[in-house]
Amino acid sequence: MEHGSFKDNSHATFTLGEEDHTLANAVRFVLNQDPRVTVGAYTIPHPSLEKVNIRVQTTGDPAKEVFKDACQELMQMNRHVRSVFDKAVTEYKAEEERKVKKAAEELQRQRELFGSMDIESN
Amino acid sequence: MESVVEEEEEVRRIVTDEEKLEAKNFNVFDLPDVPKGLPPHLELQRTRVVCEVGAPLHATGTIYSGAYISSGVDNSVNLENFSENFKVDVISLTKTDMVFDMIGIPPGIANAFRRILLAELPSMAIEKVFVVNNTSIIQDEVLAHRLGLIPLVADPRLFEYLSENDQPNERNTIVFKLHVKCPKGDPRRKVLSSELKWLPNGSELLKESAGGSTTNPKTHTSFSRSQDSFPEFADNPIMPSFEDILIAKLGPGQEIELEAHAVKGIGKIHAKWSPVATAWYRMFPEVILLKEFEGKHAEELVKVCPKKVFDIEEMGQGRKRATVARPRDCSLCRECLREGDGAIEGEAKSKGKAEAKGKREWVDQVALRRVKNHFIFTIESTGSQPPDVLFTEAVKILEDKCESVISELS
């Protein structure tokens, strides 16, 4: 829901329902990184109601577009986080497997070494 | 008059196009002896939280992208430089716990992940309990509450949400049965979570029908096929994550017979549906020794730290020096920053030395800082899904939220 003025569409307040600090703070951060934004802030009118008001004021561009761009950028950052994380986890798992294999090989080698040695029986 | 006009004519000359271009592109920061980037104290403010004895400084980041524009430094975190600088290092990963570092991520987004992990990731938990017989001293509702908190090994992605109008079927309900008895004459016995039996064919309790029961008696669920015919459950049956959770204790002659239905939900509604035992993050600590700690002071420093962050390094000729060996373990208790109360110097005190009381001689020589945008994340799962899967799902949920906002706006 956008509350703005019809004449000047560079200032607007967006009300999101069923959202809380989780999304609002993340979007606020990305919004403030945009150089077109002069005011990017959010407020939660009452903690019992699940509503967030996000205020966007820009230097001329329509506030809706700027807000949409911020959400879009947040989405892409998340995708990037996911891909980097997945890669790191696969690498870690591969590394662990390698270590386990190496330890097993080492153990096997030691066993063979002891087996081949002559042990004097008492 | 004439001499002035002559001077003007000498000064006036043709400015070439090249010179015009040079003048246009001139940037004072390109000059050879102008230092690039921010001066070190501003760089400290921008990238570190300084932990003083009283309170942290520079904790709120300057998130405004043009904060340092006059120094020519771009403070923005847009997609390009985020993609370049973002790194993840997995420190440890087991079936239930995971510790990993996220470097270059803004704190608002890291907090969003934490909040989603705790409250908005779905999982399965017992919601409805049909009690047939309960003669134990644990009341029905207390028993039902305890059953709800038992973590179950069931992947919530394979199930759908059950709303009020839906019929409970094999796609949205898991049915468990608990029937335990303590015979008379036996000692008191414990009822553990291992006694919860999974019923893959659905509920066995018959519903009371209003008229005469000439038609097929209905149960409380309508399973069209058995759940263990699904490939996912064929080899790993659904059961509680831990076998030894104590549900109730029965005295001789007491009995509990009930059926429990588990459904999908999220932690926001009730904490039993939170798939993590907990998830938290801390910022990466940085410990800097501002002066050389030698000899007696080095030993004091090493003894003071409860997390053993410092180590003694032998320098030859019997001289010892303190080094920061494990800054990662620092819990920021600020013991090394406090003025001391004469406790360490206790031995000296008993020997009667006057300097033993009060301040340490090396106050303010340790700098405790935290690196912004570098978080050490710990995720402890309850067992239904491995922690790396949980984190991936949490990121997906944040993406979905953004998408729903965008579609609402369009």
Which pLDDT band, with edges at 50, 70 and 90, does B11 fall under? Answer: low
Whether residues A25 and B406 touch (CB distance < 8 A) is answered with no
**Structure-model confidence comparison of residues B374 and B6, the more confident one:** B374
What pLDDT, on the 0 to 100 scale, is given for residue B29?
A: 66
Give this prediction's pTM.
0.84
Residue B242 confidence (pLDDT) above 60:
yes
Using a CB-CB cut-off of 8 Å, the residues of chain A touching B89 are 88
Q: Looking at the partner chain, which of B63, B90, B111 has a beta carbon nearest the beta carbon of A88?
A: B90
Using a CB-CB cut-off of 8 Å, the residues of chain B touching A89 are 90, 93, 388
What pLDDT, on the 0 to 100 scale, is given for residue B266?
A: 93
What pLDDT, on the 0 to 100 scale, is given for residue B63?
A: 65
Segment B170-190 mean pLDDT: 92
User: Where would I find the beta strands (DSSP E) of A32-86?
Assistant: 37-43, 51-58
**Structure-model confidence comparison of residues B20 and B406, the more confident one:** B406
- Chain B interface, best mutation among A32, A74, A76, A81, by max B CB count within 10 A: A81
Q: Looking at the partner chain, which of A29, A68, A88 has a beta carbon nearest the beta carbon of B88?
A: A88
Using a CB-CB cut-off of 8 Å, the residues of chain A touching B106 are 29
Q: How far is A46 from chain B (nearest CA, A)?
A: 17
Which pLDDT band, with edges at 50, 70 and 90, does B331 fall under? Answer: confident
Whether residues B409 and A67 touch (CB distance < 8 A) is answered with yes
Angle at B237 (CA atoms; ends B235, B243), nearest 5 degrees? 130
Which pLDDT band, with edges at 50, 70 and 90, does B346 fall under? Answer: very low
Whether residues B63 and A22 touch (CB distance < 8 A) is answered with no
Q: How far is A35 from chain B (nearest CA, A)?
A: 7
Q: Looking at the partner chain, which of A30, A72, A96 has a beta carbon nearest the beta carbon of B406?
A: A72
Quick: pLDDT tens for A23-70. 999 999 899 888 889 989 999 999 999 899 999 999 988 999 999 999
Segment B37-61 mean pLDDT: 81
What pLDDT, on the 0 to 100 scale, is given for residue B304?
A: 84
What pLDDT, on the 0 to 100 scale, is given for residue B340?
A: 66
Whether residues A22 and B79 touch (CB distance < 8 A) is answered with no
Segment B4-26 mean pLDDT: 69
Quick: pLDDT tens for B370-402. 998 899 999 999 988 999 999 999 999 999 999
Whether residues B108 and A26 touch (CB distance < 8 A) is answered with yes
CA distance B204 to B237: 18
CB B143 within 8 A of CB B260: no
Question: Number of residue pairs across A and B with CB atoms under 8 Å?
Answer: 118
Which pLDDT band, with edges at 50, 70 and 90, does B12 fall under? Answer: low
Q: Any bridge partners for residue B206, and if so which?
A: B219
- The distance in angstroms from the start CA to the end CA of chain B is 72
Distances (CA, A) of B319 to B309, B310, B363: 20, 16, 21
Q: What is the mean pLDDT of chain B?
A: 84
Tokens of A63: 């506030």
Whether residues A78 and B395 touch (CB distance < 8 A) is answered with yes
What pLDDT, on the 0 to 100 scale, is given for residue B23?
A: 78
CA distance B151 to B173: 15
Q: Which of A39-43, B143-147, B161-165 has the highest mean pLDDT?
A: B143-147
Using a CB-CB cut-off of 8 Å, the residues of chain A touching B67 are none
- The distance in angstroms from the start CA to the end CA of chain A is 90
Which pLDDT band, with edges at 50, 70 and 90, does B222 fall under? Answer: confident
Segment B178-186 mean pLDDT: 93
What pLDDT, on the 0 to 100 scale, is given for residue B353?
A: 43
For B161, other C-beta atoms within 10 Å of its C-beta total 12
Instruction: Name which of A106-110, B178-182, B203-207, B359-363 the model is least confident about.
Output: B359-363
- Residues of B in CB contact (< 8 Å) with A are 63-66, 76-79, 82-83, 86-90, 93, 100, 102, 105-106, 108-109, 111-112, 115-116, 119-120, 388, 391-392, 395-396, 398-399, 401-403, 405-406, 408-410
Residue B305 confidence (pLDDT) above 90:
no
Which pLDDT band, with edges at 50, 70 and 90, does B8 fall under? Answer: low
Residue B352 confidence (pLDDT) above 50:
no
Tokens of B250: 């029965």
Using a CB-CB cut-off of 8 Å, the residues of chain A touching B84 are none
Q: Which residues have a Cβ under 8 Å from the Cβ of B74 and sit 6 or more positions away? A: B65, B68, B81
Segment B143-148 mean pLDDT: 96
Query: Which residue, chain included where needed, has tokens 């009118």?
Result: A45
| Selected residues 58-77 of chain A with any CB under 8 Å from a CB in chain B | 64, 67-68, 71-77
Q: In what order do the strands lie in the sheet with B255-266?
A: B122-134, B255-266, B174-181, B197-198
- Chain A interface, best mutation among B100, B409, B410, by max A CB count within 10 A: B409
Residue A17 confidence (pLDDT) above 60:
yes
Residue B334 confidence (pLDDT) above 90:
no
Q: Which residues have a Cβ under 8 Å from the Cβ of A66 and sit 6 or more positions away? A: A31, A34, A36, A37, A56, A58
- Chain B interface, best mutation among A13, A15, A27, A33, by max B CB count within 10 A: A33
Tokens of B77: 């975190």
Q: Which of B71-85, B271-285, B350-364 has the highest mean pLDDT?
A: B271-285
Instruction: Name which of B104-113, B338-347, B379-388 the model is least confident about.
Output: B338-347
Residue B247 confidence (pLDDT) above 50:
yes
Which pLDDT band, with edges at 50, 70 and 90, does B128 fall under? Answer: very high
For A51, other C-beta atoms within 10 Å of its C-beta total 16
Residue B211 confidence (pLDDT) above 70:
no
Residue B355 confidence (pLDDT) above 50:
no
Distances (CA, A) of B151 to B121, B277, B396: 14, 10, 23
Segment B307-326 mean pLDDT: 84
Using a CB-CB cut-off of 8 Å, the residues of chain B touching A74 are 109, 398, 402
Which pLDDT band, with edges at 50, 70 and 90, does B349 fall under? Answer: very low
Q: Any bridge partners for residue B260, and if so which?
A: B129, B176
Quick: pLDDT tens for A104-114. 999 999 999 88
